[in-house]
Structure 1
């Protein structure tokens, strides 16, 4: 039976597309992922020949793949022999899960924080050398900070941004922010890396960052870091409100700092941080 011309043409196109996709695949990556999946599902590496048979490679290739994945922290060698999924892999997985859960958990934390303090509450993440405002919860008052969701601000200029970069080494900060002079928003903004280092040191010591009209005129702000299951800072929670409210209520600054730190610890715990101290260091 002769295949119709159009059918033959469609079959040829499908084969060509499959060939094109196959040419884009990287065989060593496929083999490495097969090995990683095999171990993650409970497979033993005690018998390298058996492992090779299971993932369709030879014994020497298994040895090379194991060495490479160990080097990258994706696998760890067990004292009694064999391998298990490494801490580097677990950290990577935790970050992915945290990214999916972060905003879901944060909405409730921000709502509670904003209602308690009657201040605008924000969830902020780092985007390169910038602070990206992901979520905002605002009280039903006319006097609030007006930073919009989606705002992207040089990290060193705002309190949540400072918390997001506070743990970075000096060379990394310079790579993220650029050389001196640094951009400024007001006369209080750090214009040099030396001045920024002093401010970040004080932030780390206090476990939070404060701003008194340093970014928005007449607006005070406090922020604390949010950590993931590996203990790394992945976000910051901040509150902001009119300076006159802080001045009129002598207890507000103390309450704001205490509650912002507690909110950051709560969100950190929801994301897997087990230290009970989201603002440690």
Structure 2
């Protein structure tokens, strides 16, 4: 093990560079390699409470581990835990989120919706907020005739649908009025909120539950459940929903609980792919 590697000629440890290539090893920067090893070790759940053990695992000495940790902590790539040790830092999470954000949200959502629709045999949707409307970006429909059939590209006033309610649930009333307009609010059924007082009560209940439910409140005979999707900063950027005939819920008393559980899980999965870390809401 080299205690003082040069910047351009790291010690050629067997596990440092894959064998068999023609790459010029003199172009590699030893400290960067070691820092990245340490980051991988921490990101994969490795403990840094014993620096000597960490050094053994990443093939550097204890002092180097200490210096690497101090540098990574200074740059926000790792952060110290109250109980000792370190975890991935928020700046690292944001950096990863920016990389992920270079891919369209819909790329990640497609597989999530497909799994949700297949599991529940209900129509699954991804919606985003556009002004005062929820815009339906994606849908996945099961091979059954008993499904909801909202078209991709449809726009609906956000307060009328479960994904729309999740998208506006965290907005103050002034922002809601700016997006939705003055009272009375648009209604499509007797359950639609016509006033901001009524809408406020509904959104408060949605926030408390962590999801929104509708029972024939938008499409007659169709029940729906939605949960919010967060980005790395904790902002609500989308909502995942499922919808299907109320007769299925009436016939299966356990379906509602299962739907809520799986919709929330799907939203958490998609949030994680976007870099969201639980507890870091904006």
TM-score, with structure 2 as normaliser: 0.64
Q: Which residue of 2 aligns with 1:140?
A: 143
Distance 1:94 1:128, change over 3 A: farther
Q: Which residue of 1 aligns with 2:257?
A: 254
Structure with more helix by fraction: 1
Q: Deviation of residue 91 (structure 1)?
A: 7.1
Distance 2:124 2:137 in 1: 11
Distance 2:159 2:98 in 1: 24
SS in 1 for 2:104: helix
SS in 2 for 1:214: coil
Deviations 1:7-26 (A, max 9, x none): xxxxxxxxxxxxxxxxxxxx
Distance 1:137 1:99, change over 3 A: farther
**Which ranges of structure 2 fall in alignment gaps of 5 or more residues?**
1-74, 77-89
Distance 1:97 1:240 in 2: 28
Distance 1:276 1:246, change over 3 A: farther
Q: Which residue of 2 aligns with 1:168?
A: 171
Q: Deviation of residue 174 (structure 1)?
A: 0.5
Q: Which residue of 1 aligns with 2:12?
A: none
Deviations 1:116-160 (A, max 9, x none): 000000000000100000000000000100111000000000000
2:160 is aligned with 1:157? yes
Q: Deviation of residue 102 (structure 1)?
A: 1.1
SS in 2 for 1:148: coil
Distance 2:104 2:150 in 1: 23
Q: Which residue of 2 aligns with 1:189?
A: 192
1:49-88 → structure 2 map (5 Å cutoff): none
Q: CA RMSD in A?
A: 2.5
Deviations 1:140-193 (A, max 9, x none): 000100111000000000000000000001100010000100001100000111
